[in-house]
Amino acid sequence: MPQPEPLTIAVTGANSGIGLRAAQRLAADGHRILALCRDPHRGRTALERINARAAHPATLVVTDLADPGSIDAAAEEITGETGRLDVLINNAAVFDQTRRTPAFTPSGHELFWATNHLGPFQLTARLSPLLASAPAPG
């Protein structure tokens, strides 16, 4: 029986927690992983862990979900480099409960709102043509 074609899966926040574990498992199951991480150093460290059992080497896409320009650049990179996206897992979030005063992005949005809502919305909108053209989008 032929093996199913691997899916190309983008995971935001793939450098820690649930995002890292999801990326590791999906890579071990034979899928192509695009690890979207804000910090390049932490992203490269995560790639080592993801690729330890990956069937296909994962790719780091540096993406700051609080920065609209970074999101646009990431979407362009994904579109240009892979030309395919089957699944987008919007996992990244900011939950710093110790912060007592609001922080604002250079765009003027409150950091939690920008990272947890505006960024994933923009990323999904920018990647939706790729997702819609996938054989079985998820």
Structure confidence by residue, pLDDT tens digits, 74-103: 999 999 977 899 999 999 998 887 888 999
- Contacts of 28-31 with C-beta under 8 Å, sequence gap 24+, read 28/53, 28/54, 28/55, 29/55, 30/3, 30/6, 30/55, 30/56, 31/6, 31/7, 31/55, 31/56
Using DSSP's 3-state secondary structure scheme, residue 73 falls into helix
Prediction pTM value: 0.93
